Amino acid sequence: MTEISGTTAAAPLPVLALDSVDSTNAEARRQAESGDLGPRWITARVQTAGRGRRGRAWSTTEGNLAATLLTTTDRVPGDAARTSFVAAVAVADALATYLPDSLIRLKWPNDVLVDDRKICGILIESGRVRGEDRLWLAVGIGVNLAHAPQVADRPATCVADHLRGDVASPPTARQMLDRLAAAFAHRQGQWDDQGFEPIVEAWTARAIGLGGPCAARLADETVEGTAEGLDPDGSLRLRLPDGGVRRIAAGDVFFGGR
């Protein structure tokens, strides 16, 4: 492995570059639980056991980006969970360097879509720092750059298939990580300095499905209504047929059949 310097809009963070790993989030957890809290980005050329939300597999082959930001936060767990929206907006910002902006959309809670197909997976994990009140965070981000995995129930795509006319080739994983790290630092800075509203605005500007029918599949029920927007805590606001409002904090959502 090698440790090299990454660049961000705020301050450089080190990047730990691995040839192969089970998952960058798992590596971040191991480091955090051993007392090595970063902050740093961890990336790998190949992931052998990548994971997404709800235990779904996330395939990373050479040429795609697998990266995790290991950091700490003083925010309470519910507040820290909103980092997933910061990550989604940052990925969209980074992708706009290479792709037509109009193709890049966000689906609640943190799916990044290009041409209505998934291009990115985001997984936030956390734990209590031993002997302290703060949390360590592992912000895992996988982006399909050169290849799109074949997933039967979730059509996927990659950057290489949608390049703007002025972009000759997809970025390398390291080039994408540099763009992503800078975008994440910028959006995190907005949250720290201005509150969560700028993140809500940026997310809403790219969101699919708002104003239309939505079904939220929860652990023990499915709730249907009209998706109205994002609450300040990151919940999806769903207007029910009887006029009431249901706030969806977790679950799988489907917009107009998507």
Taken in order of first residue, the domains within the chain and their CATH numbers are 2-206 (3.30.930.10), 213-255 (2.30.30.100)
Task: Tell me the C-alpha distance between 159 and 196, whole Å.
Answer: 29
Tens-level pLDDT at each residue, the chain (258 residues): 444 444 344 567 999 999 999 999 999 999 999 999 999 999 999 988 766 554 455 556 789 999 999 999 999 999 999 999 999 999 999 999 999 999 999 999 899 999 999 999 999 999 999 999 999 999 999 999 999 987 656 789 999 999 999 999 999 999 999 999 999 999 999 999 999 999 999 999 999 999 999 999 998 899 999 999 999 889 999 999 999 999 999 888 999 855
pLDDT at 11: 64
pLDDT at 1: 46
Provide CB contacts within 8 A for 55, sequence distance 6+.
none
The identity of residue 246, as a single letter, is R
pLDDT at 73: 97
Provide CB contacts within 8 A for 255, sequence distance 6+.
107, 208, 209, 212, 213, 214, 227
Task: Tell me the C-alpha distance between 233 and 252, whole Å.
Answer: 17
Cβ atoms < 10 Å from Cβ of 76: 11
pLDDT at 62: 81
pLDDT at 99: 98
Q: Is the peptide bond before 39 cis (omega within 30 degrees of 0)?
A: yes
DSSP state, residue 51: B
* Residue 25 backbone dihedrals phi, psi, to 5 degrees: -65, -40
The identity of residue 8, as a single letter, is T
pLDDT at 201: 96
pLDDT at 152: 57
Strand partners, 229: 237
**Quick one: residue 257, left, alpha or beta (phi over 0 = left, psi -120 to 50 = alpha)?**
left
pLDDT at 209: 92
pLDDT at 250: 87
pLDDT at 61: 72
pLDDT at 251: 86
pLDDT at 51: 61
